[in-house]
Protein backbone atom coordinates (compact mmCIF):
# COMPACT_ATOMS: atom_id res chain seq x y z
CA UNK A 1 0.00 0.00 0.00
CA UNK A 2 1.25 3.45 -0.82
CA UNK A 3 -0.07 6.75 0.54
CA UNK A 4 -0.91 9.09 -2.34
CA UNK A 5 -2.32 12.00 -0.37
CA UNK A 6 -2.44 12.91 3.32
CA UNK A 7 -4.66 15.72 4.62
CA UNK A 8 -4.45 16.68 8.30
CA UNK A 9 -7.70 18.06 9.70
CA UNK A 10 -8.13 20.40 12.66
CA UNK A 11 -10.02 17.78 14.75
CA UNK A 12 -6.91 15.53 15.16
CA UNK A 13 -7.98 13.32 12.28
CA UNK A 14 -6.41 12.66 8.92
CA UNK A 15 -7.77 11.83 5.49
CA UNK A 16 -5.53 9.37 3.70
CA UNK A 17 -5.81 8.48 0.02
CA UNK A 18 -3.99 5.23 -0.71
CA UNK A 19 -3.15 2.92 -3.55
CA UNK A 20 -3.44 -0.77 -2.61
CA UNK A 21 -2.47 -3.80 -4.63
CA UNK A 22 -5.01 -6.53 -5.32
CA UNK A 23 -3.63 -8.94 -2.66
CA UNK A 24 -3.77 -6.19 -0.01
CA UNK A 25 -7.31 -5.20 -0.98
CA UNK A 26 -8.45 -8.85 -1.05
CA UNK A 27 -7.04 -9.32 2.45
CA UNK A 28 -9.66 -6.85 3.77
CA UNK A 29 -12.38 -9.43 2.90
CA UNK A 30 -15.01 -6.72 2.55
CA UNK A 31 -14.19 -4.93 5.81
CA UNK A 32 -13.52 -1.26 5.06
CA UNK A 33 -14.28 0.29 8.47
CA UNK A 34 -11.84 0.40 11.40
CA UNK A 35 -8.78 -0.43 9.31
CA UNK A 36 -5.51 -0.39 11.26
CA UNK A 37 -2.41 0.51 9.28
CA UNK A 38 1.21 -0.02 10.19
CA UNK A 39 4.47 0.64 8.42
CA UNK A 40 6.40 -2.58 7.85
CA UNK A 41 9.57 -0.86 9.12
CA UNK A 42 7.98 -0.45 12.60
CA UNK A 43 7.79 -4.24 13.12
CA UNK A 44 11.37 -4.47 14.32
CA UNK A 45 11.54 -6.12 17.77
CA UNK A 46 13.66 -9.29 17.78
CA UNK A 47 11.75 -12.34 19.01
CA UNK A 48 12.43 -16.04 19.53
CA UNK A 49 10.68 -19.27 18.67
CA UNK A 50 10.76 -22.07 21.25
CA UNK A 51 10.24 -25.65 20.12
CA UNK A 52 8.91 -28.32 22.47
CA UNK A 53 7.73 -31.89 22.01
CA UNK A 54 8.89 -35.22 20.69
CA UNK A 55 11.59 -35.72 18.10
CA UNK A 56 9.44 -35.14 14.99
CA UNK A 57 6.34 -33.42 16.42
CA UNK A 58 7.30 -29.96 17.55
CA UNK A 59 5.05 -27.29 18.99
CA UNK A 60 6.43 -23.87 18.16
CA UNK A 61 5.83 -20.89 20.43
CA UNK A 62 6.44 -17.28 19.43
CA UNK A 63 7.68 -15.34 22.44
CA UNK A 64 6.92 -11.67 23.04
CA UNK A 65 10.16 -9.71 23.32
CA UNK A 66 10.89 -8.19 26.76
CA UNK A 67 10.81 -4.64 25.33
CA UNK A 68 7.22 -5.21 24.16
CA UNK A 69 6.11 -7.02 27.34
CA UNK A 70 7.34 -4.13 29.47
CA UNK A 71 5.08 -1.66 27.63
CA UNK A 72 1.80 -2.95 29.10
CA UNK A 73 0.24 -4.41 32.22
CA UNK A 74 -0.51 -8.01 31.27
CA UNK A 75 -3.24 -8.51 33.90
CA UNK A 76 -5.50 -6.10 31.97
CA UNK A 77 -5.81 -8.45 29.00
CA UNK A 78 -7.87 -11.59 28.34
CA UNK A 79 -5.27 -14.11 27.14
CA UNK A 80 -7.94 -16.82 26.89
CA UNK A 81 -9.33 -15.11 23.78
CA UNK A 82 -6.29 -14.40 21.61
CA UNK A 83 -6.96 -13.84 17.90
CA UNK A 84 -4.17 -14.21 15.39
CA UNK A 85 -3.56 -13.66 11.73
CA UNK A 86 -0.82 -12.91 9.28
CA UNK A 87 -0.17 -10.60 6.37
CA UNK A 88 2.17 -11.49 3.52
CA UNK A 89 3.94 -8.52 2.00
CA UNK A 90 6.72 -8.85 -0.56
CA UNK A 91 9.36 -11.15 0.99
CA UNK A 92 8.01 -11.11 4.57
CA UNK A 93 5.20 -12.55 6.64
CA UNK A 94 3.86 -10.45 9.53
CA UNK A 95 2.16 -12.29 12.39
CA UNK A 96 -0.39 -10.11 14.12
CA UNK A 97 -1.99 -10.95 17.47
CA UNK A 98 -5.02 -9.28 19.03
CA UNK A 99 -5.66 -9.64 22.74
CA UNK A 100 -8.82 -7.97 24.02
CA UNK A 101 -8.81 -6.04 27.26
CA UNK A 102 -10.73 -7.89 29.97
CA UNK A 103 -14.45 -7.26 29.83
CA UNK A 104 -14.35 -6.12 26.21
CA UNK A 105 -16.95 -8.16 24.33
CA UNK A 106 -16.20 -7.12 20.76
CA UNK A 107 -14.09 -4.90 18.58
CA UNK A 108 -16.02 -2.05 16.90
CA UNK A 109 -16.79 -2.82 13.27
CA UNK A 110 -15.89 -6.51 13.61
CA UNK A 111 -18.59 -8.92 12.45
CA UNK A 112 -19.31 -11.91 14.73
CA UNK A 113 -17.45 -15.04 13.61
CA UNK A 114 -20.36 -17.43 14.24
Indicate whether 14 belongs to any domain.
Answer: yes
Task: Establish if 112 belongs to a structural domain.
Answer: no
Is residue 108 domain-resident? no
Cα gap 16→9, rounded to integer Å: 11
Residue at 85 is within a domain: yes
Buried b (16+ CB within 10 A) or exposed e, 22-51: eeeeeeeeeeeeeeeeeeeeeeeeeeeeee
- For residue 110, being part of any structural domain is answered with no
- Does residue 41 sit within a domain? yes
In a domain, 111, yes or no: no
Closest CA to 95 of 51, 65, 58: 65
Rounded Cα–Cα distance for residues 103 and 92 (Å): 34
Number of domains in the chain: 1
Band the pLDDT of 114: cuts 50, 70, 90. very low
Global confidence as pTM:
0.62
Distance, CA of 17 to CA of 4 (rounded, Å): 5
For the segment 100-111, what is each residue's pLDDT rounded down to a tens digit? 888 765 555 555
pLDDT in tens, 80-90: 888 888 888 88
- Please give the residue range of the domain that contains residue 66: 2-101
Q: Give 9-24 pLDDT, tens digit per residue.
A: 888 888 999 998 888 8
Amino acid sequence: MRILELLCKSDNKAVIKTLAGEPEFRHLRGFTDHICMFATQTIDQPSKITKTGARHSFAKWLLLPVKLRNKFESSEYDYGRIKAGYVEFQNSVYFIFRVDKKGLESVPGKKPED
